[in-house]
Every structure is written in structure tokens, then in C-alpha cells.
Structure 1
Amino acid sequence: MTNIIKLSANDIAEKLNSGELTSVEVTQAFLDRIAAVDGTINAFVTVTADDALTTAREVDELRAQGATLHPLAGVPIAIKDVVVTDGVQTTAGSKMLEGWIPPYDATLVEKIKEAKLPILGKTNMDEFAMGSSTEHSAYGNTLNPWDTDRIPGGSGGGSAAALAAFEAPLAIGTDTGGSIRQPGAVTGTVGVKPTYGSVSRYGLIAMASSLDQAGPVTRTVVDAALLHELIGGHDPKDSTSLPDPAEGYVAAAQQGLTGDLTGVRIGIVKELTGEGYQPGVQARFEESINTLRAAGAEIVEVSCPSFTSALAAYYLIMPAEASSNLAKFDGMRFGLRVEPTEGPVTAERVMAATRGAGFGDEVKRRIIIGTYALSSGYYDAYYGSAQKVRTLIQRDFTAAFEKADVLVSPTSPTTAFKFGEKLDDPLAMYLNDIATIPANLAGVPGMSIPNGLSDDGMPVGFQILAPIREDARMYRIGAALESALEKQWGEPLINRAPELEAQA
């Protein structure tokens, strides 16, 4: 079992296609692992064992009949609980949606089902994707498998922790300000935020519609490329969906595995390094730059002055959009309904009682901020100004990409912090997203890959940013760096994660 659960998704796919393994064997191995360790890690809100095994048996039968299948058919996957799944509880990490069974699948789930990947279950997350630590879930904290006293990142800590604990070989996350990449950095996994609009948002429970983007959570860059090509592409159900086909990512990753980056210009973002970054994080970043230089890349420094205002702009735009999106949770149409215990049962009092009971503190905080920023007399001063900063950030990206093919930085300024360390200081928590937020404001794609351990023994992430619609570039650079580091370490970094003791 241990050998199976530590294989990459691509390796599992190859063994399934060769007949060395069956999908039932693989799926059962991961379900056994979930049963053994998830009581500790709490990566899953819901486990769908019967459905997963049914799909696995179907794949094995089709393969035995010689049917043509998707390359990832039979490889299990976990899905963040903000993505709706027909017939399976979808909570968005909130009591507001506890017990809600969607009547349809998100487009990306439809694609996963069509390709016949067994779905292991739904992963834990910060409530409505609001948080950087998965401490804001109504279903308990998810723990970091590298150190269970520390956070696994957020909002998608459940998906990242599931991979780091070897409970799944693939997962889906969503990234509004870094919620795929930052958990990837602190758990030693690969996380990709695709170009905005390149993966359908139909069926994602929205937090901030102009920022949200679903993407792959994996153990290797090739695995991410395979999953990205599966879930990407145009969707007529999503008005923001790009017409581009999802292709070229696997080929770019395979090109990167050759280790030759001759002629590639890599830009270090001046504003996203140095002061404020943990010494071990900065040291691993500089070592990775030297590795890329040795592979033939040209290293240049670029300046994006508006990035220093990205955090402030994001925490006005995102709460404003969230306050609008979450208005539908009113106790009237679906989800939780709480009636006042005293006095008349009016619509206004039902809404107040429902939202008071159903939303957690962080969600309430962001709704209040967003509503204030959109209110009469403050709209131009706050929300309008933030949108102007967003435009400046987009212009800085455009100028930077004239000097470099990709931009790089540490993914997060620190390694995973301990539970409770920043709960009483929301601003300190928000600073964890300082390097990831600019990509969401501009819509550009971003990737985080593990590039070593800091002085505290915890994983560190290396971020790669590419121009809009040029996601393939980051796959090439990411695969080249990953390959060089694995040769240096003798194995993937994720395989060095501490062993978890199974429950008695």
C-alpha cells in the first residue's frame, strides 16, 4: 500500500495502463489511508468511498475490454468542498450549507467524471474560502502533515494536506488570492492557479467572482499539467470563460524535464523578495535562482512598484464582491434557516438570525468590510480607488513581461505558522498572501512548486508567474526546477514528509 500511495498520478496512470495495477487496488489503497490517518489530519469533510470504488470497477472493466480511456482514468482525486457535486454534500466549509446536496455538477466535476477519475471525497477549507490557514472551517482545523501543530495553509488546506498525507494523488483547489499556491508552499505540494477564465467557474460557490479560479493541486509539475488539460477549456455556461483549448501544458512540462532553459528570461520581482521574508525562505529562493541560471536561464530583476499596494487593494475588492455574493444566504431559499426565538418572525429577523448562526467570524468581518466599501459616500474612496490600483498592477505585469518570459518570487514569506498564532491579528494573517495576490488581481497564471525546507524543517515554495494565456511557460520552468531539485535530493520533496501514525 505504501508504494501505491507515494506514487505520482502520472506513475499510477502508467501502471494502470500497463496492467501492473488496477484502479480498484489504487482507490482502495487511498481509501485505506484516509481511514487510517484522516481522523488526525481532517483533510476531508466528506468521503465518498462507495462512489469512488464504483467508478474504479467501471474503469477496470472498460480497460479489460480494450476501451480507449483518458490518460488519468482510474486515478483517484479529491475535490475542494467549494465545488458543487451532484448528490454529494457541498458545504463550502460553512454551517450555512451543512447538509446541502447540490442537484448538479460543476463543469470541472463533469469533466472529471467523464474521464472516469474516482472521486474520493470533498476536502476541508476555510469557510467560503476566506482564510489563509484553514482555521476558519466550521468542520474543524485541518493539520499540516509535516507538523501537526502547524497550519496547512488556506483556504484550500484540505486539498493540500490530503496530498501531503498521501490520502490522494490529485486534488482540485480554488485560488482567489493564493488559496492553491500558499497551501502548496507550506505543505510541499505543487499548486497551480490557471489564467483567469481558462478553467470554468460554473459550479464554484463564489467568493469574489473577478478573482476566483479553480486549478490543480498535485505532487509533481507533470501531474498538474495532466490535470490542468483535463479540467481546462471553454465552457458556454461561464460568461468569463476563455475560448482557448486547454493544451500544450504536458508538452511544456516534458520539455522542461530536459533541464535546458537556454534563452529563457526569468525576472525576479524586486518587491516580492528580501525584507519581511523568513531567512530560510529567502535562502531557498536564491538557491533555486542559481539552479535555474545553471540550466541556461538568463536572470534579470524587474520592478513592479504597484505590487506594494496589492494587499490593500485586494482586501477592498475581495470583501466587496464577497458581500454581494453571500447576500443570497438569507435563510429563505436554501441552506440554513434560523428563526428568532422571541418576537415576530419577519424576513429581516430571519435573515439576521440565520446569518448570525450560519456565518463564522472571518466571513462576518469580510462582509462588513465589503458592505462598508460599497456604501454610499465611500464607494469612490475605497472600492473605486482599489480598482484603479488593480489597473496599475496589470500595467506593471505587462511592462515586466516585456523584460522577462516569466516572473518568480517566494510563494509565501514564511513557512507554516502554528495554530492560533495569528488568529487574533487578521492583518498579520493577510500578509501571508502578499506574494500571491497580484496574480489574481491581474488574472495571470501562477504556480508554486516545493523548493526545499527552511531552517525549521518546514517546506518552502517557489512561485512562477506567466503572462495571461501563457500558462505553458510556467510548466516548462517549473518542471526544469523540479527535476534539478529531485536529482539533488534523490527523491521528490513530498516523499520526505514525516510518516503519520495510523489510528489505533
Structure 2
Amino acid sequence: MVSTSSSLLSLSEQVRLVQEGKISAVALVQTQLDEINRLNPKLNSFITVDADDALEQARAIDEARENGARLGPLAGATIGVKDSIPTKGLRTTDNSRLLENWIPQEDASTVKRLREAGAIIIGKTNLNEFGWSRPSETDLMPPPWSPWNPDRMSVGSSSGSGAATTARMAAATIGTDGGGSARLPAGAHNLYGIKPTHGLVSRLGMDHNGHSEISPLCRTALDTALMLEAMAGYEPKDDMSWPGKVPAYATNIKADISGWRIGVPRTFVDSAPNEPEVVQAFESFLRKLELLGCELVEFELHGMAEARSANFLVLNSEAYQRHQKSLQSHWNLYGAITRVYLLQGAFLSANDVLNASEVGRAFRNYFSEILSSLDLKAIATPTSPFATAERSRRPGEHSRGINACYTSPFNISGHPSISLPAGFGDAGIPVGSMLTGELHDDLTLLQLAFAYDQTNNWNSLVPPI
């Protein structure tokens, strides 16, 4: 069990207590550092921990509060950042020997926004090499283990982010999601993880990857709203950035959801290779939505397999194009599994990518039309058909993206999608369910998540470590 009570607090509770002066930011950071020192040797959640700078940031927050300054909305909150996201002055490795000693000169836009909101960057979290391929013991940092069952691997690629948040080593973390890489670990770590609408959170400062979104992983729906509100915003230098006004997610998160229509693509869900624990958790999730007053509407959903394949085709092509030159010059610095995954993109033509992108556009229009014509606020599915990382990472299923059959289509379509805690599998690993809504209506998903969050005690459950 976590040894110090302040680390059990949610992000929103930590921020409130710091702002009220009931706990110092320094004490809070030290508690999190103590938990990292205790747990990270077992779990491999963090690649790099920035203890000295985190304490310095905390001292500055405490001094500002004592001087009567107005603190930011995330003041004192400790945040872990996936090690593929650049952090100024802090080593960013992508868990690859190719970047083992790279220290960025600038923060990614999202990290800069988090700092401006008062968040304290406590360290860089583990991932599959370059967020691609499968984890390997020969990676720069060995794979993370699940805090819920340390004999089992964490689900990735934002695996370290999921493990760090659920183990209370950070108040929240951010990951990236190109096909489910934040929602899948959120589901497998008893967390809320939202993939925002495409362009809502800028990727400025990162490698170009058209369908991957920077995503928060949090222990409560309110924490998720606070994080997304701080992360979102228009960046003029980012040609994918959405220029619209960001809603006040946290202020408007409470809503009466009775009468809201939630679609259930029953035929598609039943056709997936769902494990029994996943089915049980999903049906329980649906019952809770009904108890909250939602109307469940079964409907036919087509094109998911085609959209999933199109998304991974584009990801394969982009990954290879980014690494083509360095693969030739630094072949031995790449992990063996990563090399295999990257080389898949070498066999794709420009026409393949154009056709895949057209599939994505068609699916985006089709899915939005489904939501509109049936007057649906969102659709509900499991987050993953599998209850353990070992099953989802079987080479045949992982390479075909079966573990991402529910998540990946909404990367290429751009629709917002959130994973919510829904239960536990036989191995003691959490299982998630997912809601997906209309473009630029992330608020509705957060409102549904918040109403659901009030009916359960997921946040009070702590890994047995």
C-alpha cells in the first residue's frame, strides 16, 4: 500500500490543498519522490526522475503562495511526461539508445502549457521504443510492470505513464495515443484516459505523426478535465492545431445526463475476440449508464476494421519515413523488434497512404453522421478485447492491431474518445470501457465520465504494492 496519505489524494485535491496552504508543494513533491524511490525499482515506470528541479519548482510555488500571488490551476500537481515528449533541459530518450543522451532545448507545446498552469514535471515515463513495436527486455529501459500484478507487464505504449499514475508516483501523467496507446494503458490501470479531438492539443515540438494525440491519464474524471483544459489551445505554428476556443471543462463538468442517448454497436462488439472478463465489465458499465438515466440504443456500426487498418498503415508509413535515414546510419542502435516494426513502412507506397487517408475521411464523415442521425451523445464499447498485456501483445494479434480494434479507428477519424475504469480481470488487472463522441465535443465525454465517476469508488482502490 502507498505509505503516505498525501500521495493518495487526487490531482484536484492536491491542487486545492496547495492553493489553500494546507499542504506545501515541497512536502507533496517529496512524498511523490519517496514513492518513486520505493516503487520504481520494481515497476520501471520512470526512465528519468528530475528530483532536484521538481523540488525547486515546488519551492517557487510555496513562495508565491506565501507572497499572495495567484497560483495556476495545476499549482503543485506532480506530472509525469511520456519520454517521447520533449522537455527542456531534461533528458528525453524515447526509450532508445539512439537518443540516450538527448537533452531538448525547448519544451513541447503541451509541456510548456502544463508548466504555465503550475504543474511540476517530476520525471519522464517509460514506453515501448519510440512508442512503436512491442516492449523488450533489451530496450534502453526494460518494460514497466503492472502495479496491480507486478508479475504482469503494463499495457503500452504509454505503459510507464499508466503505471506511474495508478501507483501514486505522480498525480497524473501524459502519454501519446496513435492507435490506443493512452486509452489502452488507462483501461489496464484503473484510470481515465482521453484521446482528445484531433488538433485540440497541439503536438508542436514533437515529431510529426498525424493521428497521434497527446493525452492525459488520471485517476478521476475531474482530474482529466483539469489536465485537458490546461493542455488544450491553439498554436499558430502548428498547422494541425484547432483554432476554436477551449471550453472550461472543469467548471462545466457537472451535467444531468438523464435521457442522454448512448449508442451500443452490439453486433460489432460481439464479433470481437473479447475475453470473458472484458464482456462482464462492459455489461456492468452499460448497466451503470442506465442507472444514471442514459438510454442505450443498439445500432449497426460498419467500417471499424477498415478504419483500424488504414490508421496503422498511415502510422507505419510515417514511422518509417521519420527513421529511414537513421536506420541506415545507426542500425545497431535500434532494438531488434523496433527495426522489424519500422521496416514494415518501407513496403508502402504514396498511393497506399493516400488510399488509407481517404478511408479515414470516409469513416470520419460516416461516424459523425451516425451520431447525428441517431441523436447519440456518444457510443460505448470496451477499451480492449483483452484483459492482460500478455494476450494483447501476442505477435500475430499485436501486428494486426487486434488489441486496438476499438480504439484505433477513432485516431484516423479524429473523434474524441475516453477510457473509463470498468472492473478487474482474473489476473487482478483492471479492465476499461470506452465512450466516443462527436468532433470537438470532448466536454460531453467528460460530463459522462464525471457522472459515472460519482457512482463508483474506482479512485479509492490502490494497487497492492
Q: Which bracket does the TM-score occupy, shorter chain normalised?
A: over 0.9
Please say which structure displays the higher CA radius of gyration.
Answer: 1
Give the aligned partner of residue 409 of structure 2: 438
1:230 partnered with 2:236: no
CA offsets 1:339-377 (integer angstroms, 9 cap, x no match): xxxxxxxxxxxx6351x2122234322332212112xxx
8 Å contact kept, 1:84–1:205: no
Q: 1:473 Cα shift?
A: 0.6
Give the aligned partner of residue 340 of structure 1: none
Give the aligned partner of residue 342 of structure 1: none
Cα distance, 1:485–1:134 mapped onto 2, change above 3 Å:
farther
1:297 partnered with 2:294: yes
1:15 to 14, 17, 22: 17
CA offsets 1:170-221 (integer angstroms, 9 cap, x no match): 1111110011100001111111111111111012234xx2111102111111
2:312 to 311, 315, 318: 315
Q: Give the Cα–Cα distance (whole angstroms) in 1 for the partners of residues 60 and 268 of structure 2.
A: 48
2:174 is paired with a residue whose SS is strand
Q: Give the Cα–Cα distance (whole angstroms) in 2 for the partners of residues 110 and 118 of structure 1.
A: 11
Give the aligned partner of residue 398 of structure 1: 368
Q: 1:287 Cα shift?
A: 1.4
Give the aligned partner of residue 279 of structure 1: 276
2:296 is paired with a residue whose SS is strand
8 Å contact kept, 2:80–2:122: yes
Q: Give the Cα–Cα distance (whole angstroms) in 1 for the partners of residues 141 and 315 of structure 2.
A: 23
Cα distance, 1:451–1:118 mapped onto 2, change above 3 Å:
same
8 Å contact kept, 2:220–2:459: no
Q: Give the Cα–Cα distance (whole angstroms) in 2 for the partners of residues 106 and 468 of structure 1.
A: 24
Q: Which one-letter code corresponds to 2:281 in the other structure?
A: R
Q: Which moved more, 1:266-275 or 1:113-122?
A: 266-275
Extract unaligned runs of 5+ from structure 1.
Answer: 331-350, 487-492
1:499 partnered with 2:428: no
Give the aligned partner of residue 422 of structure 2: 451
Q: How many residue pairs were aligned?
A: 460
Give the aligned partner of residue 77 of structure 1: 79
Q: Which moved more, 1:28-37 or 1:132-141?
A: 132-141
Cα distance, 1:270–1:55 mapped onto 2, change above 3 Å:
same
Q: Which one-letter code corresponds to 1:221 in the other structure?
A: A
2:91 is paired with a residue whose SS is coil
Q: Which one-letter code corresponds to 1:352 in the other structure?
A: Q
Cα distance, 1:424–1:410 mapped onto 2, change above 3 Å:
closer
8 Å contact kept, 2:179–2:408: yes
1:478 is paired with a residue whose SS is helix
CA offsets 1:243-265 (integer angstroms, 9 cap, x no match): 1232232134233xxxx322211
1:368 partnered with 2:364: no
8 Å contact kept, 1:127–1:136: no
Cα distance, 1:26–1:427 mapped onto 2, change above 3 Å:
closer
Q: Give the Cα–Cα distance (whole angstroms) in 2 for the partners of residues 269 and 96 of structure 1.
A: 43
Q: Give the Cα–Cα distance (whole angstroms) in 1 for the partners of residues 14 and 152 of structure 2.
A: 30
The root-mean-square deviation of aligned C-alpha atoms, in Å, is: 1.9
1:269 partnered with 2:269: no
Map 1:90-489; keep pairs closer than 5 Å.
90-131=92-133, 137-206=139-208, 209-255=209-255, 260-270=256-266, 272-275=268-271, 276-327=273-324, 330=326, 352-354=328-330, 356-374=331-349, 379-380=350-351, 382-402=352-372, 403=374, 404-418=376-390, 422=393, 424-425=395-396, 427=398, 430-486=401-457
Q: 1:452 Cα shift?
A: 1.5
Q: 1:279 Cα shift?
A: 1.3
Q: Which one-letter code corresponds to 1:291 in the other structure?
A: K
Q: Give the Cα–Cα distance (whole angstroms) in 2 for the partners of residues 447 and 121 of structure 1.
A: 24
Q: Which one-letter code corresponds to 2:319 in the other structure?
A: A
CA offsets 1:76-133 (integer angstroms, 9 cap, x no match): 1110111101111111121111101111111111112222222111001011111466
Report the TM-score, using the length of structure 1 for normalisation: 0.87
CA offsets 1:431-468 (integer angstroms, 9 cap, x no match): 11111001101011111110111344321101111111
Q: Give the Cα–Cα distance (whole angstroms) in 1 for the partners of residues 138 and 312 of structure 2.
A: 17
2:264 is paired with a residue whose SS is strand
Q: Which moved more, 1:115-124 or 1:126-135?
A: 126-135
